[in-house]
Structure 1
């Protein structure tokens, strides 16, 4: 039978298949069958196409025209060896029936080194791929795909494959690049995580993992390099968990430091077999637990306008550090108690905003106004001659709206480390107790009664004076000093943590308590390694949105008789300014001069403008100046608190002016 017209290639195939139906010889094992020849020999030879299905005229390879080699990737370096860290271009062409395709296809490049991160791909022009584009894929619509291959720690032979799909067939090409081994030229310390560890047995984080990196002459990482580690000191049982390691494909090699009992900076010395050495930085072994004199508390608003309003907030922030003034570790819990309104129960020390691996040493909670509000058992009196508010004799505080907030956590007592060895030494270091005789012993004994005594390292006072701030480092139970008298009273709460209940107040035990006590000294009773509750307390004022006035409606100090002025004379009037409870006026309150009814007189007030938040009352002075003409009327001051304004006027009279 002769076929005279076949038309398209597809119709030729259909006719031949129909012709061969039932013939044993058709489609047999011959590698040179008529069908194979008609399809251009694309029967799956491993160099151009992957199967006999789909469009078998599509091929991928290098070169073009008569020089096209199917199944091979073109290399910019040819058959030469690629230097360590070097780069070369990889190129393939996608053809169909011998011509470059004009359809859009994606060519993907892959290899073992690429998968391991030991070789990097980038656009042929260099630089980096734009955000969102895969660096191992080249999108082409002209049949040509080129990518840049850079050795990044790869050593030896790397077989690279370029793959795409066209006309329903997956077609691929391959090549092999030989990469020369790199020479180790540097060993770098990268980081320590965490950078602060606590003394052995302190209950904190006691290990840190240190990371170093082995790099070659081109700056690329070098794998399979042995590195040995050593500590700069081993005092107190400080040790390495691993004394050697081998760099991975990314060049990183690791070791772990385990804490001892002696604080201070820690250095790890890393050395390759080739003698390249470096040293770690930034790792500190510290007590970890906060100590008393490094524990403080503050409020975003110390006198929020909340005596008459619920739901007003103030942010309460605690800052904590250990005996070496390193920030307390991330996650250290801080507990809060207040004698009025409501406060969040606890917070955890947070990471630093700029470096999440480091501790900020601080955390915050919200205090919110509500009941109970605090009332004094007795009232103050106004002394207008001295412009002061006075409590009855023997009463420490007699103003409403004042409450105590106390923050506590487990920590260590403080001492003055006179020999600088970072450990407590009895009879050598300074640790003040209620029985210490240095300086004003009576004042020190009073200071020791306070819930938050002034520590010896903060007072620096050893002789003379009558101050109650002579140092006391021996801590008793923390308590809410409701009556502000600086001593524990039976009706005051003892601050506890974790829901523990302590009903009996305990004074200091006369010993240093903390992890800087040597275990042997603790066994001998010279000091104690037991933690204590370190604490910081503060007064918060629920300020009132009305000014304090005398029974006849004046500001304290405001005269009841006119101010008499002669020609060009200046007189001043000083007045006390407080809220309705005798505390400071709320932040944002304003004082301004009122001169609308003053004739022939200038009126100036100081301070003039907005007041800051303050717990204590202040003073305002009104200056009244006469001119050549007789003054009259009244000089005044406007006091604006919480959006409401009160005007206080002082009559003016003239004296000594010429009469006509």
Structure 2
């Protein structure tokens, strides 16, 4: 209610702009807001008195004190007045409702309390406490201490084994209400999925298992009573959602809908074994106990061992500026898939060996290695220029040796081999996704570093043995396709049987030098206005210059006649940048000298310099190659 204080002088005239302070003689009964106010032009100041709580009841006085400023002509001392007030009992009402009066075992319902004071929603939040018999014993959970919003407080009731009619009580400091939630008793027993071994739930195709690869999964369930305690000696029926490719359970071939039955142990646990088939698929194991049923997580039969035909090696740069400098890098990329092109399982380890330089792989636990492990079917390592640099070196065409210049012999062609345990490729003639007798396959023997790029193993070339028992001759490389040119085998190390082997790919990374040479220094115009020369640019060892090296023209002194009417020639180089290449002999570039077709007055001649500059990733070096233009 509102409190009004009127201030007048001795003549009964109102006194404005004076501070009136309000207070209750019993601060526990009521409070005033504001606690002070200025008188208006009528000499009146207002405040509001409110009960301190809905439980407050009684009577007291409101005190109003007027304080005059120094020098006031009205009064020099405060003036006080008081008036009695009474606080009657508040009428607090509450209704309680539940969203679901009947819930299943483990179910949930909302409980809503609506509070009013003297018929209106409380203006300030009130606390409503909720509880129930099952909540007090831990058989249900129920929100408590919920604040009202516009007079409404909502709690959530969740069953945890109550299994009966449960009385929910909502209470404030002055009232309480009840409602009943009926909870259905829990099932006599439940069947629940526990887990799968392997945890990844990933199986390889039948016949492709081995170290790190599983063709079987053990799927575990548990039968429990209402309290979650395992039930022994329960008969559980198991089935498969698909049997594609010959999937089996407990080594039994089933049709979809057929089941295998097993008994739970003393802990209520029961496991069933699933064997993969020959085609990629996803399968779920179903488990039924009486009228109850559930299913496992997805078990995937997809990625098998990497297949030789699906094992790929590439590099971001085939010629790095590493012939004269340490630390130049190129990234080696591996992509691996099974015989149907499905990516191999994450974590498949790929090994690398090299004729020279360094292989820098992944770092695990602060330790670097020369391997990588796949993620989404791929992984990378870096090849970093460093010793050992293969000098002298060779390659099978002999082109590098022919083009090697006096600075040194053919050198710095580093053969790299990537390999991992996988399977030999075969032609699946009948489409059953497994090798059958009579089907063609690529027999693989021991891998080796083909240092001289001859496609044949030589006595001094490093090899990695797969099995000491393999002594059969390896078939010759196919002549109709080069698919195994970079996957050669050491003679006499095959086994003559399709199966597991080291799948492999090799490639050559060139540690290029920084001194450029060309196979010619002439451009012949042939009496015309345009002349073109094909120029083979190489480093000092007859290999390509580093990828990214640029070719530019300088000191252009080529024209069609003497001054003052001479027309200067335009000289262009294509490509202007050395590409990624490990081609023996270097890279080809077209040098074009042109004065414009039919526009040259006299024979074109002169000279220019071809500048070859290595990339700035190392110390930038420019070679000057003088060229002569003959008419």
Task: Please classify the TM superposition score into its range, dividing by the shorter chain length.
Answer: 0.5 to 0.7
- The 3 A distance-change label for structure 1 pair 483 and 577 is same
* 1:347 counterpart residue number: 371
The structure with the largest strand share of the pair is 2
Question: Which residue, out of 68, 84, 91, partners 2:113?
Answer: 91
Quote the Cα distance in structure 2 between the aligned partners of 1:118 and 1:195: 39
Quote the Cα distance in structure 1 between the aligned partners of 2:272 and 2:130: 41
2:627 matched to 1:650?
yes
Quote the Cα distance in structure 2 between the aligned partners of 1:483 and 1:110: 85
Quote the Cα distance in structure 2 between the aligned partners of 1:296 and 1:105: 68
Question: Which residue, out of 333, 342, 356, partners 1:317?
Answer: 333
Secondary structure of residue in 2 paired with 1:597 = strand
2:75 matched to 1:66?
no
* 1:194 counterpart residue number: 201
Q: Which has the larger radius of gyration?
A: 2
* 2:520 counterpart residue number: 557
Quote the Cα distance in structure 2 between the aligned partners of 1:294 and 1:597: 55
Q: Which moved more, 1:155-164 or 1:261-270?
A: 155-164
* 2:611 counterpart residue number: 638
Which string of whole-angstrom CA distances, capped at 9 and with x for unpartnered residues, describes residues 103-145 of structure 1? 79798999989x99999x9xxxxxxxxxxxxxx7998587845
1:141-290 alignment to 2 at 5 Å?
144=151, 146-147=153-154, 176-178=180-182, 193-199=200-206, 202-203=210-211, 204-208=213-217, 229-230=239-240, 232-233=242-243, 238-239=248-249, 258-260=274-276, 262=278, 264-265=280-281, 267-268=283-284, 270=286, 283-284=300-301, 288-290=304-306
* TM-score normalised by structure 1 residue count: 0.55
Question: Which residue, out of 377, 391, 409, partners 2:420?
Answer: 409
Shift of residue 75, structure 1, vs aligned partner: 2.3
Shift of residue 423, structure 1, vs aligned partner: 2.9
* 1:306 counterpart residue number: 322
* 2:20 counterpart residue number: none
Shift of residue 624, structure 1, vs aligned partner: 1.5
- The 3 A distance-change label for structure 1 pair 379 and 331 is closer
2:449 matched to 1:480?
yes
Shift of residue 391, structure 1, vs aligned partner: 4.5
Which string of whole-angstrom CA distances, capped at 9 and with x for unpartnered residues, describes residues 334-377 of structure 1? 222111012145535333xxxxxxxx222222322211101125
Question: Which residue, out of 459, 467, 475, partners 1:490?
Answer: 459
* 2:379 counterpart residue number: 363
Contact 2:400 2:543 in 1 (8 A): no
The structure with the largest helix share of the pair is 1
Which string of whole-angstrom CA distances, capped at 9 and with x for unpartnered residues, describes residues 535-583 of structure 1? 2221111112331x2xxxxx21222x875655xx211122111222222
Question: Which residue, out of 579, 593, 609, partners 1:612?
Answer: 579
Contact 1:314 1:368 in 2 (8 A): yes
Quote the Cα distance in structure 1 between the aligned partners of 2:504 and 2:614: 35
Shift of residue 492, structure 1, vs aligned partner: 1.2
Contact 1:635 1:651 in 2 (8 A): yes
Question: Which residue, out of 301, 312, 325, partners 1:296?
Answer: 312
Question: Which residue, out of 564, 568, 571, partners 2:531?
Answer: 571
Quote the Cα distance in structure 1 between the aligned partners of 2:629 and 2:131: 95
Which string of whole-angstrom CA distances, capped at 9 and with x for unpartnered residues, describes residues 293-316 of structure 1? 222222222222111111222222
Contact 1:193 1:210 in 2 (8 A): no
Unaligned 5+ residue runs, structure 1? 1-5, 11-37, 41-63, 122-135, 183-190, 213-225, 246-253, 352-359, 383-387, 393-397, 432-472, 511-525, 550-554, 655-660
* TM-score normalised by structure 2 residue count: 0.57
Q: Which moved more, 1:371-380 or 1:609-618?
A: 371-380
- The 3 A distance-change label for structure 1 pair 496 and 197 is same
The number of residues matched between the two structures is 462
Secondary structure of residue in 2 paired with 1:623 = strand
Quote the Cα distance in structure 2 between the aligned partners of 1:137 and 1:597: 95
2:593 matched to 1:624?
yes
Quote the Cα distance in structure 1 between the aligned partners of 2:159 and 2:626: 83
* 2:505 counterpart residue number: 536
Quote the Cα distance in structure 1 between the aligned partners of 2:169 and 2:515: 81
Quote the Cα distance in structure 1 between the aligned partners of 2:539 and 2:139: 69
- The 3 A distance-change label for structure 1 pair 608 and 314 is closer
Contact 1:157 1:176 in 2 (8 A): no
